[in-house]
Structure 1
Amino acid sequence: MTSLNGYKAIIFASPTRDALWDHAKSAAGSTQLDAARHALRQYMRRGGGFVGIHNAFGTEYNWPYYEGLLGNANFYDHGANQNGTVKVVNKKDASTEMLPASWGFKDEWYTLMPYPTNVKFLLAVDTNSLATKRGTHPGHGKMHPVSWCQYYDGGRSWVTTLGHDAGAFAVDTSTFPGAAQFQQHVVAGIKSAMGLVPFCK
């Protein structure tokens, strides 16, 4: 990952732990272990696009730059994988303009610590629609965001905490309620991060 030139967007589709950190090199005392992190940072500074999906919030916990890429937020915990209602909170964005005002979806409904800042919220979950509440986190009240975007360090960052179930990505969207809307949202989000359509309106 030392050269990202030529890519219109980089997608973190549910990576885990320190995806960019070479623990073997670190243990050996190498000074080259930060090459992947440096490449991503420089890519963003050249105007690159970043897309983070679901467990993109469960990786690179100890890198402040990456937390900023996620909107100064990080994964804290989640409750049961359960049905809920997703609401559009910004209809102007390219990744939401085609969506209904709300729709049913099943996910883990991540809670975050810290809470996202300096971002534009796109989607939220109606917490009243959840049968059981989150884990130990006190919750986000009426605004529990699940997708947002921002310009970050010269580049574009579009992220969503949604996407736990493989069924949400299935070609046959009839097998997973809300999959069609989720896929429309993600595809348009990727295009916007790539700069192919207007970003973060």
Structure 2
Amino acid sequence: MSVERIIVYSRTTGFRHESIPTGVAACQELAAEAGFTALATEDPDELAAALPGARAVVFLSTSGEVLTDDGRRTLREFLAAGGGFVGVHGASTTEYDWPWFGEHVVGAVFDGHPALQPGVVVVEDHQHPATAHLPARWDFTDEWYDFTTNPRPRVRVLASADETSYEGGRMGADHPLVWCHELAGGRSFYTALGHTEESFADPAFRAHLLGGLRWATGAA
């Protein structure tokens, strides 16, 4: 019996997170835990060729323009056919020249962040495998991404930032950080968390990612 595959894509043409190698390794381990093999690549042609046979694709702290025209077409077709998408942290800083990606794949577009610092994630929805294990208020250290628009009207918000718990937030009392949706056809999950290498060794964060992956692939 063949094992189904996911793709972990981490190409950057803008800012490059030092945590990417650690994150790729973690995603491969979590994929195996969920019963999948994982192809890790930063080659846009390899991504486009591999998408049609995959169960889901993880955009791990990608940045800038990372897809070819063929890759954009293939990703749109992949999602329309029910393929899954998981966006981690910098995925919202990706494909600014293709607005459909931010609006329909990730669900929102990055708009800056304050300094890396501790803060509190408020879990709003415990009926999802990415957040079911988390406390109502989860202490975490990250960059606390702001977005150009609030995605709440279009997505299912799973967790948000308590801006009173850190300095420099710009979205106010309603600041989504983690959400899921099916705007592009398949299941899309996005978490703004995951800036540091330490995140990918944190059991709670790893379970968060694993839950998102299970949901996006339909395995949950």
The question of 1:168 aligning with 2:199 is answered yes
TM-score, length of structure 2 as denominator length: 0.75
Distance, in Å, in 1 between the alignment partners of 2:52 and 2:132 is 30
The question of 1:125 aligning with 2:148 is answered no
The question of 1:189 aligning with 2:212 is answered yes
AA partner of residue 96 (structure 1):
T
Provide the secondary structure at the position in 2 that maps to 1:140: coil
More helix by share: 2
Task: Report runs of 4+ in structure 1 exceeding 3 Å deviation.
Answer: none
Q: What is the Cα-based RMSD across aligned positions, in Å?
A: 1.2
Match of 2:64 among 3, 13, 17: 17
The match for 1:90 is: 125
Percent of aligned positions that are identical? 39
Check conservation: 1:44, 1:152, Cα contact below 8 A.
Answer: no
Check conservation: 2:123, 2:138, Cα contact below 8 A.
Answer: no
TM-score, length of structure 1 as denominator length: 0.82
Distance, in Å, in 2 between the alignment partners of 1:141 and 1:65 is 26
Which structure would you say has the larger RCO, counting Cα contacts within 8 Å and 6 or more residues apart?
Answer: 1
Match of 1:149 among 180, 184, 187: 180
Check conservation: 2:65, 2:94, Cα contact below 8 A.
Answer: yes
Distance, in Å, in 2 between the alignment partners of 1:162 and 1:2 is 26
- Unmatched runs of 5 consecutive residues or more in structure 2: 1-46
The match for 1:2 is: 48
Distance, in Å, in 1 between the alignment partners of 2:213 and 2:187 is 10
AA partner of residue 198 (structure 2):
G
The match for 1:64 is: 99
Q: How many residues align?
A: 171
